[in-house]
Chain A
Amino acid sequence: MILLANNLAFSLFVPQARPAVLAAYIGVCLALGIGFIFLLTAMPTRFRRPIVIATTFILGLFYFLEFMFPGRQMAPLRDRLAAAESGFRTAQQDLYAVVVQRNDVSARLAHAGQALNDAARSLDKAAEMIDRVKPDAEEQLRRAAEDASRWAKARGVPGKVLEFDAETGSISDIRTQTYRKRVGDLAKAAEGMSDARAAMEKAQSVSASTPPKEVDAIRGSLAAGADSLALARSNLSDNFLSPYTQPVGDVSVVIGAFALGLGIYGLAAVHAKAISGKRPGWLNSLAFYVAMIAMTLVGFLKDYLGKRPAQSLSESVYNILFYGALNALSATMFSLVAFYIVSAAYRAFRVKSGESALMMASAFLVMLSLVPFGVLITSGLPVHGWASIFRLENIGHWILLFPNAAAQRGMLFGIGVGGLAMALRVWLSLERGSYFDKEM
């Protein structure tokens, strides 16, 4: 089915022709695209609005459904990885008893050992499943790549027009990309499992006499192992819509490309007016035209001249303009931030209210905790024990890790919910704004 749709799309959108005809074809497509956008802009709102609403809803629905349905094909493998992950997290919690030296250390160690053994069994089964599935996926990838290449060669489609996989030397289509991703995900899952297994082996060697600090580090490795299993699991949940996220995403890239044209047109028009009217600073507008034409020219020439002497010249000019001029100017602008931080900090640290005094005090402590002098001030205090909390580096660390992180997460929760509400309003066309003219 995918192959049929794919071939149909190729037949419609890629002509069986030589590069000159292909260039003409692309030109016609471009003209049609511009014509469509012009039509959409010129048509009365009462006709445009339903089109905008329907398009927004259908595209939103695609992404919604793609997100909501986890794929079933890899479900048994995901279940095994979930079981292993659960074992890792259980063991991680059990080992906490060793870190804080609780009374039930031996019971908790036994429980952790049991959980890790269960996790090991799940990992073994998952590894078997991967070994069983992977050759099939690789074979499917090989066949898909061959089909795509054969199909494209038979019609004389130049490789440069389509996505080209340099590794296999084959032309890539949706079907090929789907299988390539599956093979890659299986390899990543195997890699994640091997990391997790290494953490598990360390954890299995823990005994009641292992130093708490070492056990704490092992708990960290177990958490990282569990996270890599969770990641492998989420990668393996592609559903029937997942292969199409890339082509659907490409639609927005194409629309964006048209908009870029509009942006450049707007920019060119503003500067053309400035030059023709000899407005103050019109020489800057002239510089805009010179820079834009020069960069466009050398950018094209460096890629399309082939192996000629002029190509290397274009590349050199491009490198000078891009890396020597643009990047250097950007870096200069960025370096100004350091000076602005000082002036902003000066204003921010003037104590005008209770809140600003609190901010000033906490910022002062954090800054001191990050410089050697600050650490020196409280170096007389013990490193361990209750008094160690008054060491400046510990106070600074605590401010950053607890009140600061809590406030930032609070903001992120609000922003997340706000983003969800906004996305919902846009998707269902409930939002007001110029893109819908007025409230729906």
Chain B
Amino acid sequence: MQHANLAVYILEGAMVFLILYKILSARAGRRLFIRRIPGLSAIDEAVGRATEMGRPLLFSPGIGGFNVVSLQALAILGHIISLVAKYRSRVIVPTIDPLVYTIAEEAARDAYEANGAPEAFNRDDILYLTGDQFAYASGVVGVLHREKVAGAFYFGDFFAEALILSENGQQVGAIQVAGTPQVTQVPFFIASCDYTIIGDEFYAASAYLSREPTLLGSLVGQDYSKAILLVLMVLGIAAATWLTITGFPSIEAALLRITTAFNG
């Protein structure tokens, strides 16, 4: 079992403090700025296009179980459904995990109700397809082709099925936006989707879309935390380079102590 060590206490403590501090200051009314993320702006465009064409949208929350990534995906789904409810369009949500299915259904119902269109909620549009990776992929491909979707969103954990889904989306001419924390799948999405959210933009999505103070504060706190990591990296690179050039023993000893502390 892995447990925290001194380095984790310091680093994680600092990051948690920064994130919470920024959340609290944002909730207290402080205005925060976040840059434009084109992939997320394209969501509005995709929903509008689907409405004009009279065709549905598809949202896949990935094949992960019920975890932080799925929760983030469902937060994005909530925003998309708000737009869909506003434009009186339709979104199909195929899921692979029963827990995610249950929460997606709840999220969809809430989003339609919150936008004054409870009658637009169709329980049959939230699908629990299967628990198997490739059976899920073939199920989603079937939906993409049968429904001729105008837009497809892939947000969540994706693995080998990523390319199968997005290439079929391309074939039906859907405008596609994808975002995943699975680094190995990002190139596939970049190759086959119109817009791809990469890295931590995935976690920034709900803040960007909803502009809720809590989420914005959290996002700014994340950026400060990344700045700490960046400074540490630069210092580490500089120290290691200097050590290689000079072989100065005190730096070496200090680096060793830090390395051992980080290793648990």
Which A positions have Cβ atoms within 8 angstroms of B? Answer: 66-71, 82, 85-86, 89-90, 93, 96-97, 102, 104, 108, 230, 233-235, 237-239, 242, 245, 255-256, 259-264, 266-267, 270, 273, 326, 329-331, 333-334, 336-337, 340-341, 343-345, 347-348, 408, 410-415, 417-426, 430-435, 437, 439
Closest to A418 in B: B203
- Nearest CB in chain B: distance from A108 CB, A: 8
Are B210's CB and A262's CB within 8 A? no
Closest to B162 in A: A337
Are B4's CB and A434's CB within 8 A? no
Q: Does B37 contact A (CB under 8 A)?
A: no
* List of B residues within 8 angstroms of A343 by Cβ: 167, 170
Q: With A234-B2, A411-B186 as given contacts, are A435 and B229 in contact (CB-CB < 8 Å)?
A: no
* List of A residues within 8 angstroms of B164 by Cβ: 333, 336-337, 340
Contact segment of B28-36, B39-47, B56-64, B94-102 = B94-102
- Nearest CB in chain A: distance from B162 CB, A: 9
B132-173, CB < 8 A from A: 132-135, 137-138, 160-161, 163-164, 166-167, 170
Between A and B, 25 residue pairs with Cβ closer than 8 Å are A66-B3, A70-B3, A70-B5, A82-B260, A85-B260, A89-B256, A90-B256, A93-B252, A234-B2, A245-B1, A263-B128, A266-B101, A267-B129, A326-B132, A330-B133, A340-B163, A344-B163, A344-B166, A415-B203, A420-B225, A432-B210, A433-B107, A434-B74, A434-B103, A434-B109
With beta carbons under 8 angstroms apart, the residue of B4, B181, B260 that contacts A70 is B4
* List of B residues within 8 angstroms of A330 by Cβ: 132-135
B73-129, CB < 8 A from A: 74-75, 78, 97-99, 101-103, 105-107, 109-111, 124, 126-129
Task: Mark contacts of B199-226 with chain A using CB atoms, 8 A cut-off: 1 yes-contact digit, 0 otherwise.
Answer: 1101110100010101100110110011
With beta carbons under 8 angstroms apart, the residue of A66, A238, A264, A344 that contacts B188 is A344
Are B199's CB and A414's CB within 8 A? yes
* List of B residues within 8 angstroms of A424 by Cβ: 16, 19-20, 218
Sample of 20 more A-B contacts, CB < 8 Å, known A82-B260, A340-B192, A348-B192? A86-B260, A89-B259, A237-B2, A242-B1, A262-B102, A263-B98, A267-B129, A337-B160, A341-B163, A410-B199, A411-B183, A418-B222, A422-B218, A425-B218, A432-B210, A433-B75, A433-B78, A434-B103, A435-B71, A437-B110
Closest to B133 in A: A330
Are A102's CB and B200's CB within 8 A? no
* List of A residues within 8 angstroms of B239 by Cβ: none
Are B247's CB and A431's CB within 8 A? no
A245 to B3, CA, bound (A): 13
- For the complex of A and B, list the 9 residue pairs with the smallest distance between their C-beta atoms, beginning with the closest: A263-B98, A418-B203, A414-B200, A434-B107, A333-B134, A348-B191, A411-B199, A418-B200, A344-B191
Closest to B132 in A: A330
Q: With A69-B3, A256-B66, A417-B222 as given contacts, are A412 and B183 in contact (CB-CB < 8 Å)?
A: yes
Task: Mark contacts of B220-236 with chain A using CB atoms, 8 A cut-off: 1 yes-contact digit, 0 otherwise.
Answer: 01100110010000000
Q: Does B15 contact A (CB under 8 A)?
A: yes
A336 to B132, CA, bound (A): 16
Are A270's CB and B124's CB within 8 A? yes
A326 to B136, CA, bound (A): 12
Are B124's CB and A273's CB within 8 A? yes
A421 to B167, CA, bound (A): 32
